Amino acid sequence: MNSNDIINIFFDFFQKRGHKIIPSSSLIAPNPSTLFTAAGMQQLNSYLLGEKDVIKDFRTRHLVSCQKCFRANDINEVGDERHHTFFEMLGNWSIGQDKNGNYFKEGAIKYALEFLVDTLKLDKNKIQVTIFKGEGELPRDEESLKIWQKNGISLPKIKEFGMSDNFWGPVYQTGPCGPCTEIYYDRGEEFGCKKKSCGPNCEYCNRYLEIWNLVFMEYEKKEDNSFTFLKQKNVDTGIGLERLTSIIEKKETAYETELFFPAILEIEKYSNLKYQEAKRNFRIIADHLRAIVFLVSEGILPSNVSHGYILRFLIRRIARIEILLNLKEGWEKLPVKYFVDFYGKRYPELIDKDKKIISIIYEEKNKFKKTLEKGLKEFENQCKKFEKEKIIPGKIVFYLYQSFGFPIELLKELARENNFIIKEDEFWEEFKKHKEISKIGSEKKFGGVGIELAKNEKEKEVLTKYHTATHLLHSALRKILDLTVKQAGSDIKPERLRFDFFYDKKITDNEIKKIEDLVNQKIKENLIVKKEIMPLEEAIKTGALAFFKEKYPETVSVYTILNEKTGEVFSKEICAGPHVKETGILGIFKIQKVESIGKNTKRIKAILINN
């Protein structure tokens, strides 16, 4: 049985129990407050909150999926037995209640046991679980404890933990969350630390591997960090496909399963080291390569901000590990092809992308390589200077960062490997002092991996692109929805645009797609953006859109976005700018959220990928 079989059996199991399969959503998070999709429930957040009607949209309360996920905060753990950047998550949901009742803790636990023990034939004796022991205002999960006992898992195979281990969510700052019960599989003594205290969540070893997280979402976390009851109860579960595959295939880790191993064998051919001699580095490089394949397939390109920053970081990291493994040039080709072919069967967006992926990797690596070797030498020199104290001052870290383009995470990693620590606080002070560099976004957004860094120049460029994208969006809204659509407000941040407008009807998913497609088409057509300065009156006469008439000065700038060859005008607005010169550089436009913010007012949040 391989991972594909596991997915099919999982789908079949839940379909037979009335669940509807929903496709994986994009790796780019549906809500701009986080970068990536990190859990299967993310696309269902509004249904779990009870804001959207699950019956209306899916005709059932029971859903099942296999979701592409990316977790940047696990990046330092990658290469061990449990962590990956990209991974897939199997999940089943029971959302809200109806008159026929719905399954909650009892049903979710029963299904989990039936699937693992009766269907996959895992040994029930090797299963251990954890439950929420209660913390602060939130009570202990007595009900789950009893259900496990009723189902033949008894103490001491049930352990209790607090918020940090057994409470899940919300995935955004606020939202649905709840206590969870986690299912662990005992892989046997040979994987263990042999300590008496060893068990689920052991801090010394990974003998007990968490395979399934059952979340009982009955709370909503509010902005002030308090919890209220949701108006409905939900089940949200997640199985790490990689971990389950390693157990089913009886392998030490997922890296030895068909998810990775054929790719690792290809990489090995280009090294003078064997997998067994440098396991961790082989694993990291395979993990990152797979993640890069998926990120590029979403249209992401290396850059200094947002998703592109993470992609850049992954490529720079493999460039460094390539040196540690003595990999000969060209090593990426076959493993990339392997991932593209293997996953392309399930994710058509990967098909035929291997050449593009390879060229993006090469281009980024070449840019970085020029400084990498010099930088590594310099890093060694600096280490020698601070050999005694084993601490590298922030100023030096900043110098390495600035002169050699080493992401801070990479510097931390280099320091760790050499038993040094770096003065990160000092680094950030230094960073702030250098006025030409600014920090945007929050660390939370990356879950600790990297902070979104951008030089002021870069930031300005991004904001300019969002300005132009806002004009394209505005015009697309008028063309697709109604010519009377009127701007109510606009807010641009380096990570997204927000556009409010007066419109009193519901906007359908089909319309959202059409709007998105039209903007992307106009980006592709590479329209030019022309700036003219003219009297306000004349601007209005020529049909330029103006919404705050009374606020405009007598002379205004008018920005026209038009096709240079045909002369066809797509958008014409009075605006102070700045704007890009050609739409082609905007990247991919993606609407992330459409909401009602007042009786007749709607709000759209959208991002540009690759900006």
Residue 216 binds ligand SER (CB under 6 A):
no
In the complex, the smallest distance separating the C-beta of residue 240 from ligand SER, rounded to whole angstroms, is: 8
Of 71 and 365, CB closest to ligand SER? 71
In the complex, the smallest distance separating the C-beta of residue 231 from ligand SER, rounded to whole angstroms, is: 19
Sign of CA dihedral 28, 33, 35, 41: negative
In the complex, the smallest distance separating the C-beta of residue 216 from ligand SER, rounded to whole angstroms, is: 10
Question: Of the ranges 34-42, 52-60, 129-137, 585-593, which one interacts with ligand SER (CB under 6 A)?
Answer: 34-42
Of 209 and 561, CB closest to ligand SER? 209
Of 217 and 372, CB closest to ligand SER? 217
Q: Measured in Å, how far apart are the chain's first and last C-alpha atoms?
A: 42
Q: How far is residue 304's CA from residue 344's CA, in Å, rounded to a whole number?
A: 28
Of 169 and 441, CB closest to ligand SER? 169
In the complex, the smallest distance separating the C-beta of residue 132 from ligand SER, rounded to whole angstroms, is: 14
To the nearest 10°, report the CA torsion of 272, 276, 277, 281: 90
With CB under 6 A as the contact rule, the residue among 58, 104, 167, 168 that binds ligand SER is 168
Q: What CA–CA distances, in Å, run from 200 to 74, 151, 156?
A: 19, 19, 11
Residues paired with residue 601 on neighbouring β-strands, in sequence order: 502
Q: How far is residue 552's CA from residue 550's CA, in Å, rounded to a whole number?
A: 6
With CB under 6 A as the contact rule, the residue among 48, 72, 215, 497 that binds ligand SER is 215
Residue 213 binds ligand SER (CB under 6 A):
yes
Contact 273, 323 (CB under 8 A): no
Residue nearest to ligand SER (CB): 238
Residue 238 binds ligand SER (CB under 6 A):
yes
Of 220 and 500, CB closest to ligand SER? 220
Contact 598, 590 (CB under 8 A): no
In the complex, the smallest distance separating the C-beta of residue 168 from ligand SER, rounded to whole angstroms, is: 5
Sign of CA dihedral 354, 355, 361, 365: positive
With CB under 6 A as the contact rule, the residue among 141, 236, 332, 354 that binds ligand SER is 236
Burial profile 541-578: b = 16 or more Cβ within 10 angstroms, e = fewer: eeebbbbeeeeeeeebbbbbbbeeeeeeebbbbbbeeb
Residue 167 binds ligand SER (CB under 6 A):
no
User: What element of type H or E holds 55?
Assistant: helix 54-58
Question: Of the ranges 78-86, 110-118, 233-241, 267-275, which one interacts with ligand SER (CB under 6 A)?
Answer: 233-241
Question: Of the ranges 35-43, 157-165, 265-273, 337-345, which one interacts with ligand SER (CB under 6 A)?
Answer: 35-43
With CB under 6 A as the contact rule, the residue among 26, 237, 464, 571 that binds ligand SER is 237
Cα–Cα–Cα angle for 218, 219, 225, rounded to 5 degrees: 170
- Restricted to residues 506-535, the positions that interact with ligand SER (CB under 6 A) are none
Query: In 3D, which of 114, 224, 243, 134 has the Cα closest to residue 179?
Result: 134
Residues 6+ apart with CB under 8 A from 472: 519, 522, 523, 561, 570, 571, 583, 586, 589
Contact 410, 75 (CB under 8 A): no
With CB under 6 A as the contact rule, the residue among 6, 32, 40, 430 that binds ligand SER is 40
Cα–Cα–Cα angle for 311, 314, 317, rounded to 5 degrees: 150
Question: Long-range contacts made by residues 365-370, C-beta under 8 angstroms, separation at least 24?
Answer: 365/315, 365/316, 365/318, 365/319, 368/315, 368/316, 368/319, 368/405, 369/319
3-state secondary structure of 534: strand
In the complex, the smallest distance separating the C-beta of residue 400 from ligand SER, rounded to whole angstroms, is: 36
Of 153 and 183, CB closest to ligand SER? 183
Residue 308 binds ligand SER (CB under 6 A):
no
In the complex, the smallest distance separating the C-beta of residue 63 from ligand SER, rounded to whole angstroms, is: 12
In the complex, the smallest distance separating the C-beta of residue 153 from ligand SER, rounded to whole angstroms, is: 19
Q: What CA–CA distances, in Å, run from 218 to 46, 230, 492?
A: 14, 5, 35
Question: Of the ranges 55-63, 230-238, 410-418, 534-542, which one interacts with ligand SER (CB under 6 A)?
Answer: 230-238
What is the phi/psi pair of residue 210, to 5°? -70, 125
- Assigned token pair, 416: 């760790």
User: What element of type H or E holds 457?
Assistant: helix 456-480
Sign of CA dihedral 97, 104, 26, 22: negative
Q: How far is residue 177's CA from residue 236's CA, in Å, rounded to a whole number?
A: 9
In the complex, the smallest distance separating the C-beta of residue 89 from ligand SER, rounded to whole angstroms, is: 6
Question: Of the ranges 33-41, 218-226, 254-262, 485-493, which one interacts with ligand SER (CB under 6 A)?
Answer: 33-41
Total chain residues near ligand SER (CB under 6 A): 10
- Restricted to residues 342-361, the positions that interact with ligand SER (CB under 6 A) are none
In the complex, the smallest distance separating the C-beta of residue 24 from ligand SER, rounded to whole angstroms, is: 13
Question: Would you tell me how many other CB atoms lie within 10 Å of the CB of residue 168?
Answer: 23
In the complex, the smallest distance separating the C-beta of residue 430 from ligand SER, rounded to whole angstroms, is: 37
Pattern 61-100, binding to ligand SER, x per CB under 6 A? ------------------------------x---------
Question: Of the ranges 36-44, 272-280, 320-328, 578-586, which one interacts with ligand SER (CB under 6 A)?
Answer: 36-44
Interface with ligand SER by CB under 6 A: which residues?
39-41, 91, 168, 213, 215, 236-238
